[in-house]
Amino acid sequence: MSHVVKCGLIQASNACDTSEPIARIREANIAKHMILIDKAGRAGVQILCMQEIFTGPYFCAEQVPRWYEATEYIPDGPTTRLMQETAKKYQMVIIVPLY
């Protein structure tokens, strides 16, 4: 007897220009991804994986101090809490790579 687990992966483009303030970039990307997360939840996805540093552009190859502002506390940061609430709402596991 097999058990099917429905998985999903979200990879999306950055939601706004990278010259915007870090807080604005984070807010825009989270809003963009929440639409996709809700769609996955309604579709019955049980395990959902977000792309690397989904709250902003991939900046890890650079050594630009500006991006240090993008760090968040785990598990008490706002994005972690939002993802915990969303995962609970849809009874799914969400893999959330943060910086």
β-strand 93-95 against 7-10: which pairing, if any?
unpaired
* Cα gap 15→31, rounded to integer Å: 9
26 pLDDT above the threshold of 70: yes
Band the pLDDT of 30: cuts 50, 70, 90: very high
1 pLDDT above the threshold of 80: no
Residue 83 lies in a domain: yes
Residue 61 lies in a domain: yes
Q: What one-letter code names the amino acid at 62?
A: E
2 pLDDT above the threshold of 80: no
Residue 1 lies in a domain: no
Number of domains into which the chain is organized: 1
Residue 42 lies in a domain: yes
Domain limits at 88? 7-95
For the whole model, what pTM was predicted?
Answer: 0.91
Whether residue 24 contacts residue 62, with contact meaning beta carbons closer than 8 Å, is answered with: no
Residue 2 lies in a domain: no
Residue 44 lies in a domain: yes
Count the helix, strand and coil residues of the chain and give each as a percent rounded to the nearest 5: 40, 10, 50
